[in-house]
Amino acid sequence: MKTVTLSTLADLSALDVDTVIDVRSPAEFAEDHLPGAISLPVLSDAERARVGTIYAQESPFDARKIGGALVAQNTAAHLQGPLAKKAGDWQPLVYCWRGGQRSGAFATILDQVGWRVRLIKGGYQSYRRLIVNALYDTPLPHQLILIEGGTGTAKTRLLDHLAAQGAQRLDLEGLANHRGSLFGAMPGGQPSQKMFESNVASALLALDPRRITFVEAESSKVGECLVPPSLWSVMQAAPRIAIEAPVKARAAFLCRAYRDLTLDGARLASQIDALRPYHAKERIAQWHTWATEGAFEDLAEALVTDHYDPRYAKSAADAPPPLRRYGLAQLEEESLAACAARIISETGDQSLLPAAQ
pLDDT in tens, 107-151: 999 999 999 999 999 999 999 999 999 999 999 999 999 999 999
pLDDT, tens digit, 9 for 90 and up, residues 209-265: 999 999 999 889 999 999 999 999 999 999 999 999 999 999 999 999 999 999 999
Q: Name the percent of the chain lying above pLDDT 70.
A: 97
pLDDT of 185 reads: 85
Structural domain 139-356, CATH architecture: 3-Layer(aba) Sandwich (3.40)
Average pLDDT over residues 155-178: 96
Question: Residue 316 contacts by C-beta under 8 Å, 6 or more apart in sequence?
Answer: 148
Picking from 18, 31, 27, the residue whose alpha carbon sits closest to that of residue 199 is 31
Determine the Cα–Cα distance for residues 320 and 336; give it in Å rounded to an integer.
Answer: 25
Domain edges within the chain:
2-133, 139-356
Q: Which CATH superfamily is domain 2-133 in?
A: Rhodanese-like domain (3.40.250.10)
pLDDT, position 340: 96
357 band by pLDDT with thresholds 50, 70 and 90: very low
Kindly indicate the confidence band of residue 353, based on its pLDDT and cuts at 50, 70 and 90.
low
| Cut 0.75: pTM above it | yes
Q: How confident is the model at residue 349 (pLDDT cuts 50, 70, 90)?
A: low
Of 113-117, 179-183, 209-213, 336-340, least confident by mean pLDDT is 179-183
Q: How many CA atoms lie within 13 A of 345 on its CB side?
A: 6
C-alpha closest to that of 96 among 108, 86, 84: 108
Can you tell me the distance from the alpha carbon of 351 to that of 84, in angstroms, rounded to the nearest whole number? 56
Report pLDDT digits (tens) over 46-105: 999 999 999 999 999 999 999 999 999 999 999 999 999 999 999 999 999 997 889 999
pLDDT at 351: 46
pLDDT grade for 355, boundaries at 50, 70 and 90 = very low
Instruction: Judge whether residue 356 has pLDDT over 50.
Output: no
Nearest to 300 by CA among 259, 242, 243, 329: 259
What mean pLDDT value characterizes the chain?
Answer: 93
Chain segment 186-202, per-residue pLDDT in tens: 889 999 999 999 999 99
96 is catalytic: yes
- In the predicted model, what is the mean pLDDT of residues 286-303? 96
**pLDDT of 318:** 76
